[in-house]
């Protein structure tokens, strides 16, 4: 187990450290839904936006926040990918941290925007809920949380793998398909998201499906959401 910055054990799946060491999942272009949601729902022009990204991975979304001249912070579990990012973006040596974002001491009442693109979904329900409670405290009143690509129970991989710790929404050991060999995968239905974000005012909740119409072999289904701290 890797230690987090507070000295506790990490909830983070070690699979991601191994994935990056094998040079896989090195996405470097900002995710289009993330760019669309921030452009559409966030007033990024009024002040220098303080942004927290949960799990920045290989830093795909960083150039976008650089272009907005925002103050960017991230907590990411993979030490090797964070070392690479510190080399690539030396200005973020102090603000991209190695740690478990489900167990991290964030600055309180500080952020204007928290984003999560495919990172909380690598965790169990209890870890996600703990993280959302902490993140809520870290957000300024009126600030927004944008969640992109939260896997849906309508995803064709939901029926695969084994349940983690009696948590019916979290699977592991998915051996084939879009989500294979990625460690823990969390899936949500609408009620589960309403429960997880019950403290927030959910402003947008959209469900997306992409179905392979040629071979009918997969359906990728996910949620995007915008939730405001009241």
Ligand X SMILES: C[S@@+](CC[C@H](N)C(=O)[O-])C[C@H]1O[C@@H](n2cnc3c(N)ncnc32)[C@H](O)[C@@H]1O
Options 56-64, 134-142, 161-169, 212-220: segment touching ligand X (CB under 6 A): 56-64
Instruction: Dig out the tokens for 89 from the structure.
Output: 């973006």
- Residue 98: φ, ψ to 5°: -85, 125
Q: Could you write out the three-class secondary structure of 40-91?
A: HHCCCCCCCCEEEEECCCCCCCHHHHHHCCCEEEEEECCHHHHHHHHHHCHH
Tokens of 85: 């990012």
| Residue 101: CB minimum distance to ligand X, A | 4
3-class state of residue 144 by DSSP: strand
Q: Which one of the spans 39-47, 114-122, 151-159, 192-200 is the region binding ligand X (CB under 6 A)?
A: 114-122
Candidate residues 38, 49, 52, 56; the one interacting with ligand X per rule CB under 6 A: 56
DSSP character for 132? H
78 binding ligand X? (CB under 6 A): yes
Q: Which of 62, 77, 128, 135 binds ligand X (CB under 6 A)?
A: 77
Secondary structure of residue 202 in the 3-state scheme? strand
Q: How far is the CB of 119 from ligand X (least distance, A)?
A: 3
125 scored as a contact of ligand X (CB under 6 A): no
Rounded least distance, CB 216 to ligand X, Å: 26
**Measured between alpha carbons, how far is 54 from 14 in angstroms, rounded to an integer?**
16
Judged by CB, which is closer to ligand X: 61, or 144? Answer: 61
Instruction: Select from 70, 119, 152, 224 the one that contacts ligand X (CB under 6 A).
Output: 119
**Which of 38, 49, 52, 100 forms a contact with ligand X (CB under 6 A)?**
100
Spatial separation of the C-alpha atoms in residues 171 and 184, rounded to whole Å: 6
Which residues lie near ligand X (CB under 6 A)? 11-12, 16, 27, 31, 55-57, 60-61, 75-78, 100-102, 117-119, 122-123
């Amino acid at each position: 187990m890797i230690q987090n910055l507070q000295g506790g054990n990490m909830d983070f799946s070690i699979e991601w450290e191994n994935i990056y060491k094998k040079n896989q999942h090195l996405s470097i272009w900002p995710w289009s839904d993330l760019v669309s949601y921030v452009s559409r729902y966030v007033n990024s022009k009024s002040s220098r936006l303080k942004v927290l990204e949960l799990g920045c991975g290989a830093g795909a979304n960083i150039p976008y926040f650089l272009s907005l001249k925002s103050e960017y912070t991230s907590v990411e579990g993979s030490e090797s990918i964070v070392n690479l990012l510190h080399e690539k973006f030396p200005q973020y040596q102090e603000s991209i941290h190695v740690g478990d974002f489900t167990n991290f001491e964030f600055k309180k009442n500080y952020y204007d925007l928290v984003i999560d693109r495919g990172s909380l979904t690598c965790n169990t329900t209890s870890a996600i809920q703990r993280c959302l409670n902490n993140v809520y405290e870290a957000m300024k009143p009126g600030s927004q949380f944008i969640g992109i690509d939260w896997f849906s129970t309508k995803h064709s991989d939901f029926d695969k793998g084994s349940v983690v710790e009696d948590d019916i929404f979290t699977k592991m050991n998915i051996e084939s398909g879009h989500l294979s060999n990625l460690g823990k995968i969390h899936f949500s239905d609408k009620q589960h998201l309403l429960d997880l974000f019950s403290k927030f005012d959910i402003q947008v909740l959209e469900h997306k499906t992409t179905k392979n119409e040629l071979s009918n072999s997969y359906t990728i289904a996910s949620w995007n959401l915008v939730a405001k701290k009241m």
